[in-house]
Amino acid sequence: MIGAGAAPLPADLQGGRRPSGPFLRPAVGGFTLIEVLIAAVLLTAGLAVALQAIGSELSASTRAARRAAATALAADRLAVAAAEDVVTLAGQEPRGGLMYRWQVQTTPQGGDVDELTCTVEWSDAHGRQEVSLSRRIWAGGRP
């Protein structure tokens, strides 16, 4: 029994509560510092993996878009070369922030058939890239 002359209890011991610190589980619900640090480390690792996956997907998407632009350019140049009845045609064209160089060549296949081949080249962070398309056409009156 506490006498009349006894010192009062500290505030954190009144009401049956235990003292708490950064490494002790508090008397009331919550997380310890160790639990919070482990959760932060796991969250950081998960975010790093997710960001790396997003980065590689964006890179693959960019490469695919550039290849699609080069393929469309090659198809367009083949159509022009077939319509204009030319033997060799070359040039360059900017698309999507890159400069694409293209060249159409005609190769006789025998008889009245020629093969038109358009090669499109460009350079990006992955080095020199290239797409080639070919089609055969009736040479008709071409010498």
Pairs from 89-96 (Cβ < 8 Å, separation ≥ 24): 95/69, 96/65, 96/66, 96/69
Phi, psi at 122, each rounded to 5° = -155, 160
Please provide the average confidence, as pLDDT, over all residues in the chain.
82
- 118: domain CATH number is 2.20.130.10
Number of domains forming the structure of the chain: 1
Q: Does a structural domain hold residue 15?
A: no
Do residues 120 and 102 lie in contact, with contact meaning Cβ atoms separated by under 8 Å?
yes
Poorest-confidence range of 17-26, 68-77, 118-127?
17-26
Contact 77, 89 (CB under 8 A): yes
- Evaluate whether residue 112 is within a structural domain: yes
* C-alpha to C-alpha distance for 88 and 116, rounded to whole angstroms: 9
Residues 8-62 have pLDDT tens digits of 656 555 555 555 555 555 556 788 999 999 999 999 999 999 888 887 777 888 8
pTM of the model: 0.61
Domain assignment present for 117 = yes
Structural domain boundaries enclosing 107: 36-138
Residue 17 lies in a domain: no
Predicted local distance difference test score (pLDDT) of residue 112: 86
